[in-house]
Amino acid sequence: MRRLMLLSALLLALPAVAADRITGREFATRSEVIAPRAMAATSHPLVTQIALEVMKNGGSAVDAAIAADAALGLMEPTGSGVGGDLFAIVWDPKTKKLYGYNGSGRSPKALTLDYFQKQGLTDIPPLGPLPVSVPGAVDGWFALHERFGKASMQDVLTPAIRYAREGHPLAETIAYYWARSVPKLSKYPGFKEQFTIDGRAPRTGEMWKNPNLADTLQKIADGGRDAFYKGEIAHVIDAYFKANGGFLSYEDLAAHHGEWVEPVSTDYRGYDVWELPPNGQGIAALQMLNVLEGYDFSKIPYGSAEHVHLFVEAKKLAFADRARWYADPAFQPAPVARLISKAYADTRRKLISADKPLREVRPGTPAELDEGDTIYLTTADASGMMVSLIQSNYRGMGSGMAPPGLGFILQDRGEMFVLKDCEGAAPHPNCYAPGKRPFQTIIPAFITRDGKPFVSFGLMGGAMQPQGHVQIVMNLVDFHMNLQEAGDAPRIQHEGDTEPTGQNTAMSDGGVVQLESGFPYETIRALMDKGHHVEWALGPYGGYQAIRRDPETGVYFGASESRKDGQAAGY
């Protein structure tokens, strides 16, 4: 009876098949955007216009990406801001090479594991002063700009400063998430004063100004990255945390540095898919693709039970390794080359059955991994430079800790550290330690083919991100979708694994397969017959943006997430 009720509910969630499209798949929301010289795809239309304007004025794709990220910190503080971290992959047409940047910050040096233990804490609180780690975004801007920028940082940051002073009308999806954050975060000092209107969230279409953020960005534009990490801003942050039971200090900020890292890749049917190595989770996508490459998807239809089943099983295998190995390599080096090797995938693939789901895996996805709000953007300029950039405050608007007069909220990424299983000869790889980078969910991605840039893309959403990356690659390569269709296609999310936080909900039944509306009844029924626990999506899942470059003509194709407020545009 319970099964029949679930099937009935799932059927009610399925939409009618669209029959009014002239071209493309029935689920496609719109056509790709096509332009000859430049392209930008961000989660906010005004920000996309800022990125294009920077490139029209002679700035590089990196300049445009920095300008867009700064503006999103103002316009979409529900997922980003100068209080968070940043990762990027850049295609440089001069060297014909990809460059990776890890702009994640470290835990406070004065905060120790012993402190948490004496407080009787078994997990780091999700909000307030204790989960705050050093914000790496601003340092990332200047590192990227120093290597690939053309415009001055004053010109790059001017659009965000202007909108912060003059105001902008709030977008619909952002207003929804902002309203959800206000009740939880208003108790933290500085939040209500700087991020509400008379104690409430700004509403859809209401003009929003943030003069404090304008002042902060102006100081950064004038004084460089040291204005943030060693100047007045750093002293304000230091005093604020000392006054409010926190540990982030001036010394932590002054010592911060991001780092250039070598992107890693796997070949998926002739396409090289690139991610950044840990402390992020990007290589989980590569591990999944290696396992899935062993199946002939030319004979497996998109949206079929076999497609969903194999995807979910590959995810379980990759995420088991994610829990074991992905951490700050300065504290826990991971065997990345082995994990993303074809030989390793061959051995793991043998564990998958065609008829039933894997159950002997360590399942259990904690809710906070799915609440990690983020922004992703991508830009491309006339020279052929392409940027894949992702930035986040982690959980929604971050920790709630908003230093006075600065106009931003500090991230709560430190919640990803583990406080249990930290003793003995083999402690958990993500155990808390001073000066350590936490596990990161935010991951940019890139695809090349025959040594040429093909697609810069990303998809937001905590543990969904590597799952989303794999679905985009499969949609493009296996199912021959165009760039917009690849993002519009109904998404799959599997929940149920031991996470890098060490948490485990002991779901020994193989976890839960969550499907967005659009999968046929036959697929749902067949998955349940195999033994999968199927639910409708609690999403929407992810926030996708992408740019593809035609290798022959140089023409750009852009796509943006139909589930959110964004826009792809070019000139």
CB of 58 closer than 8 Å to CB of 150: yes
CA atoms within 13 A on the CB side of 367: 3
CB of 432 closer than 8 Å to CB of 500: no
Q: In angstroms, rounded to a whole number, what is the distance separating the alpha carbons of residues 228 and 129?
A: 19
List C-alpha distances in Å: 423 to 21, 420, 431, 500: 60, 8, 9, 16
Radius of gyration of the chain (CA): 22
Phi–psi pair at 241, nearest 5 degrees? -75, -35
Tokens of 351: 């564990």
Q: How many CB atoms lie within 10 A of CB 9?
A: 11
The yes-or-no answer on residue 505 being catalytic is no
Q: Which of 379, 317, 354 is nearest to 42 (CA)?
A: 379
Q: Please pick, among 158, 374, 441, 501, the residue that the annotation labels catalytic.
A: 374
- From edge to edge, which strands make up the β-sheet containing 567-570? 259-261, 97-103, 85-92, 386-395, 372-380, 39-42, 567-570
DSSP-derived 3-state class of residue 418: strand
Q: Which of 450, 537, 465, 63 is nearest to 267 (CA)?
A: 450
Q: Which sequence positions are flagged as catalytic?
A: 374
